[in-house]
């Protein structure tokens, strides 16, 4: 089978496509014929040795896949050849056939295509866990989303609206802000792309305050970090919750006096670890997310797809900051 392999740390250009041995399922395992792979920013981090996990090389990136069960190992119960499933292995997904533990599979609901299924779990799972379980977002509250046209950001916009919040979308280009407004954001603003000095950060904080309203944001969803973090923290309301989700713009430091002044909580979000520690809570969230999808309240917007041979270009769109919504790698037969 073909696999996209990282053989040395580096950017997407270091990835190669090679023939490797087909996997066979051991006890408790299944092999999935992969149809589509969702692309996430962690794919860019993991191939550069900049992620929480450092798999042994060579390895394939690709955190989440959708496909069909092709072979079932000994002792597997309740999973059958032909089942349409999603798996979230963290890495290893950009291959034609993937071996995973049977109990980790999530069935794809009727009517959901493979591309949508591959672009669903990681972003909505993260953003729902963040907004519901970590921030306890309430109807009527104001939610400021940074990077609102990215994977987790766009999911946060849709989920914020579905949860009854007033959503303010912030992003680096007019197209990205327009995209977030189409997703349902109530208000939007463009922020600068480059590093910002103190004066520029102060000006941005003023923009955030103007867009969120007189009292500021109750919840900030920060999947961006860098110089955007402090201006967002300064634009928060009393009892605000600041969600630390990701750092494509760099890992920020925050002056803690700002949290004291407004009784703001800075809340860490690590969805993957939460899934491992609290599988029942995650299963309940997944069921709620599937219901929101069935009700038409959330829908991954896939702006581009790439074949497996060009998976490196798919990851490049994220590392170059040009992706809007979700990018998916399609595995052709
Ligand atoms: N905490 C968790 O459990 C969890 C789970 C999944 C992902 N994450 C993290 O969340 C972050 C976003 O992931 P994603 O998959 O949603 O990524 P994505 O689709 O690429 O979105 C990231 C957004 O970050 C913004 N950005 C700012 N500076 C950037 C830069 N230098 N390079 C690239 N993008 C930049 C971009 O928006 P603008 O151009 O509008 O600024 C972009 O849309 C990543 O750090 C990822 O590791 C965390």
pLDDT for res 333 = 66
Of the candidates 24, 39, 21, the one whose C-alpha atom is nearest the C-alpha of residue 331 is: 39
Q: For residue 85, what are the contacts with CB-CB under 8 A and spacing of at least 6?
A: 32, 66, 67, 68, 69, 79, 105, 106, 107, 108
Please give the pLDDT value at position 202: 97
pLDDT in tens, 236-252: 999 999 999 999 999 99
Q: Is 0.95 surpassed by the pTM of this model?
A: yes
With contact defined as beta carbons under 8 Å apart, do 104 and 317 qualify?
no
Q: Evaluate if residue 124 carries a pLDDT over 90.
A: yes
- Provide the CB-side half-sphere exposure for 245 (13 A, CA): 33
Counting atoms of ligand 1 from 1, which one is nearest the CA of 226? 28
- What percentage of the chain reaches a pLDDT higher than 90? 98
Assess whether pLDDT exceeds 80 at residue 106: yes
- 136 and 130 Cβ atoms separated by less than 8 Å: no
Ligand 1 atom with least separation from CA of 148: 40
Q: What is the mean pLDDT of residues 142-155?
A: 98
Residue with CA closest to ligand 1 atom 17 = 41
Domain boundaries, the chain: 2-120+300-330, 123-272
pLDDT (0 to 100) of residue 220: 98
**CATH number attached to the domain at 123-272:** 3.40.50.720
Residue 214 — very low, low, confident or very high, per pLDDT cuts 50/70/90? confident
How many A from CA of 61 to the centre of ligand 1?
Answer: 17
What is the CA(225)–ligand 1 centre distance, in A?
9
Ligand 1 in contact with 179 (CB < 6 A)? no
CATH 3.90.180.10 fits 2-120+300-330, yes or no: yes
pLDDT of residue 225: 98
Q: How far is the CA of 152 from the centre of ligand 1 (A)?
A: 7
Ligand 1 contacts CB of residue 300 (under 6 A): no
Query: Would you say 216 and 209 are in contact if contact means Cβ atoms under 8 Å apart?
Result: yes
pLDDT band for position 119 (50/70/90)? very high
Report CA(246)–ligand 1 centroid distance (Å).
Answer: 6
Domains 2-120+300-330 and 123-272 share a fold: no
Summarised one tens digit per residue, pLDDT across range 250-261 is: 999 999 999 999
Residue 131 pLDDT grade (very low, low, confident, very high; cuts 50, 70, 90): very high
Ligand 1 centroid–CA 192 distance in Å is 16
Q: Identify which of 51, 220, 321 to mutate to test ligand 1's pocket (most ligand atoms within 8 A of the CB).
A: 321
Locate 86 and state its tokens.
């999603």
Q: What's the mean pLDDT in 39-64?
A: 97
> Per residue in 296-316, pLDDT tens?
999 999 999 999 999 999 999
Distances, alpha carbon 312 to alpha carbons 16, 19, 236, 272, in Å: 8, 16, 38, 24
**For 285-295, what is each residue's pLDDT tens digit?**
999 999 999 99
**Nearest CA residue ID for atom 8, ligand 1:** 246
Measured from the CB, is residue 63 less than 6 Å from ligand 1?
Answer: no
């Amino acid at each position: 089978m073909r696999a996209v392999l990282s053989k040395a740390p580096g950017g997407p250009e270091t990835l190669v496509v090679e023939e490797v041995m087909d996997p066979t399922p051991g006890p408790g395992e299944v092999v999935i014929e992969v149809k589509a792979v969702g692309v996430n920013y962690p794919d860019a981090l993991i191939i550069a040795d900049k992620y929480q996990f450092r798999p042994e090389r060579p390895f394939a990136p690709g955190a989440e896949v959708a496909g069909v069960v092709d072979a079932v190992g000994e002792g597997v119960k309740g999973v059958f050849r032909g089942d349409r499933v999603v798996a979230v292995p963290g890495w290893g997904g950009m291959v034609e056939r993937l071996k995973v533990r049977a109990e980790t599979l999530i069935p794809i609901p009727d009517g959901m295509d493979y591309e949508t299924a591959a672009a669903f779990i990681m972003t909505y799972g993260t953003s729902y866990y963040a907004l519901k379980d970590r921030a306890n977002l309430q109807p009527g509250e104001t939610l400021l989303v940074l990077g609102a046209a990215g994977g987790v950001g766009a999911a946060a916009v849709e989920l914020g609206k579905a949860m009854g919040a007033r959503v303010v979308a912030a992003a680096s280009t007019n197209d990205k802000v327009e995209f977030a407004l189409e997703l349902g954001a109530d208000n939007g603003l463009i922020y600068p792309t480059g590093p910002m000095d103190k004066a520029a950060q102060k000006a941005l904080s003023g923009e955030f305050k103007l867009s969120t309203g007189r009292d500021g944001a109750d919840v900030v969803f920060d999947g961006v970090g860098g110089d955007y973090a402090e201006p967002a923290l300064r634009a928060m309301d009393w009892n605000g919750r600041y969600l630390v989700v990701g750092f494509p713009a760099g890992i920020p430091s925050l002056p803690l006096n700002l949290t004291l002044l407004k009784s703001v909580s800075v809340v860490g979000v690590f969805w993957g670890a939460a899934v491992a520690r609290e599988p029942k809570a995650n299963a309940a969230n997944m069921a709620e997310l599937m219901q929101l999808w069935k009700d038409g309240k959330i829908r991954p917007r896939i702006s581009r797809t790439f074949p497996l041979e060009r998976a490196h270009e798919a990851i490049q769109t994220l590392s170059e900051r040009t992706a809007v919504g979700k990018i998916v790698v399609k595995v052709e037969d």
